[in-house]
Amino acid sequence: MKIFKLLFAAFVLTLSSCEKKDPEIPNEEEVITTLIYTLTPSGGGTAVEMKFQDLDGDGGDAPTITTGKLMKNTTYNGTLVLMNELVTPTEDITEELKEEDKDHQFFFSSTISDLLVSYTDQDADGNPIGVETTLTSTNAGSGNLSITLKHKPNKTASGVSTGDISNAGGETDIEITFSIDVE
């Protein structure tokens, strides 16, 4: 019986000292924390920057959104930058998209009338990606500008190459809405 008691004591001791060791924090290199849409007036002037930043990824602290004012009757050259600021050094996700350009496409839509975004870049198949765009404003007004990134859309479906999202399918990697003013 002594042996049993000893064994039992050893068992309990082992269990109570069994602290779960520190988990290894995964390297979250796939996360997109930041999107910056920079609009430079084609005729020169100050660039407008719209930014969505969620430094800790989904959950945790709420994201911060900064937006800008656009001028009416202006053409802007738009450039999108995606970043992962969770990892150090900060990772440029735009590069990753360009490597997989056939699998990605950005879509733009606005509630402001006659505000149009058109693609100025192409993937290897000649279909748009949307990292480089042209934004044209006409009338003044207030409303939203939505930017959506689709992963594995059907780029050949009807209307997709001209920026119509409705037949694109695929999975949404990004969906952000900026409230903007055109003056």
Residue with tokens 């290199």: 29
Strand ranges, E, within 71-182: 75-84, 91-92, 104-110, 116-119, 132-136, 141-151, 171-182
28 binds other proteins (CB under 8 A): yes
Q: Which of 1, 24, 44, 162 binds other proteins (CB under 8 A)?
A: 24
Q: Which of 22, 46, 89, 124 binds other proteins (CB under 8 A)?
A: 22
18 binds other proteins (CB under 8 A): yes
2 binds other proteins (CB under 8 A): no
Q: Which of 106, 148, 96, 149 is nearest to 127 (CA)?
A: 106
Q: Which of 121, 123, 132, 173 binds other proteins (CB under 8 A)?
A: 173
Cβ proximity to other proteins, 72 vs 151, nearer residue: 151
| Contacting residues for 153 by C-beta, under 8 A, at least 6 apart | 104, 105, 160, 168, 169, 170
Cβ proximity to other proteins, 100 vs 164, nearer residue: 100
Minimum separation from the CB atom of position 85 to other proteins (A)? 8
Q: Which of 129, 145, 174, 182 binds other proteins (CB under 8 A)?
A: 174
Q: Which of 38, 40, 57, 138 binds other proteins (CB under 8 A)?
A: 57
Helix residue ranges, H only, the chain: 2-16, 93-99
**Residue at 34: amino acid letter:** T
Residues in contact with other proteins by CB under 8 A are: 15-16, 18-30, 32-33, 35, 52, 54-63, 86, 96, 99-100, 103, 151-152, 169-176
